[in-house]
Structure 1
Amino acid sequence: MRLAELSERSGVSASTIKYYLREGLLQPGHRVTATQAAYGEEHLRRLRLVRALIQIGKVPVAVAREVVAAAEDSSLDHHMRLGAAARALPHGPGPAEDDEATGIARRSVEALLEQLDWRCMHDDASPALGTLVASVAALVRLGYPCDTAHLLSYGRIAAELAVADLDAVEEQPTAAGQIEAAVALTVLYEPVLLSLRRLAHVQESARRFGVATDFGSSG
């Protein structure tokens, strides 16, 4: 397909596509003349990923470039490529190591990992792990329940979500497509999960604390 068709099918303007090409976010097309190139389905798929990262996930162009590079790095095994792409995504702040609450939080998180048998997380420098410790430390400072027992239910739900996510990722037929899907699903489903959680809070609050009305009673 030509650039105009790629723009129409992807919903990305031709000028933006040219910008992505210059920035290395999109691989060059197959040159057919001195001034024209042809593009394939892999370009369309990559455009959708980049658009999801930048426009929906608010990921900076430089970070999106790292994700794309990780997806294309065939020197890494599949697990490492997935991890490299995930690490490139924006994360929250890490913990303040000189804070007493951080020490308490880190012990709770380490015990949680033991309970969940997440052995691959031990000695991991993942930004997500640092953000988790920082978040639990904030709960410690404010006096909210955040010991291992309270965290465990969240960890178990996260484990179930990971199975669903990776099942969806494995539906993609190529390794590069799976990595792109893993990143896109992470970016796109996080607001879905947040919204569902808030809606569930409303439903559970109504169940627990709402005023029951028996429409079947006749007074």
Structure 2
Amino acid sequence: MAYCIHCGNELRHGVTHQCVNDTSGNPMKYTAAAAEPEQGRPDSESAGAPHAKTSSAVQVDGQVLLNLLKNPMSALNMRGDQTGMLYGIIGMASSIIGFWLFGLGIKQMFYSGLGMMSALISDFGMGSRALLLGLFSTVILLGSFWFTGNMVTKQKLDMKEFIAKMGSFQLPFGAALILSGLISFMSLKLAFLILVLALMTGLAANSAAVIELYRMGSSQWIKFFGVALGIYVLFLAVVQTVLL
């Protein structure tokens, strides 16, 4: 037996019911069959739960990475959510790995004829210093840009959003540094040339991207460059002196 959910009257099979509580002018008509819940239909909340759980999982999309390599400025469209943070960390990690490989390539010079694997499994000295240098260099550079951009423009860009955007922006330059590191096991001169080009291009491109991100006017550029690069050089010199 079914009842109207609006007026409480009994609904009979095959008999049209006009609700007595209808005040809209358009009668709400129900039948007992329509009022009864459909058998076998899962509850909407429970049915959506597995989907929500799946959608919450963060996955790396190769197409996004390829697009970042082809068009680095697309990184400025990243959001500060879990997905954006993931690509930001990947971009930063690529630069750090490139520094590490280059350090191992230099170290290989001291192990003549022993090859790449010997540099990887031998004493970690040169590689560890290059790894730390890449880590601190990347973090300090982005940190100085974020701090100075917020100060000069009076904008309060969230740190997570900044990492998602500018971190993922590092991916093409990180790829160039990784290439330099791999080539360093074969030709140190060529690797050093690629390294210098990647660093110089990366610094100029990062500066341009931050200017675009913060919408800086031409009158703010000199102040931004002076403060940001001053902080970067100062902190990196302290890190090299104390830790490296």
Q: What TM-score do the two structures reach when normalised by structure 2? A: 0.27
If asked which structure has higher relative contact order (CA below 8 Å, sep 6+), I would say 2
- Which protein is bigger by CA-based radius of gyration? 2
Normalising to structure 1: TM-score of the pair?
Answer: 0.29
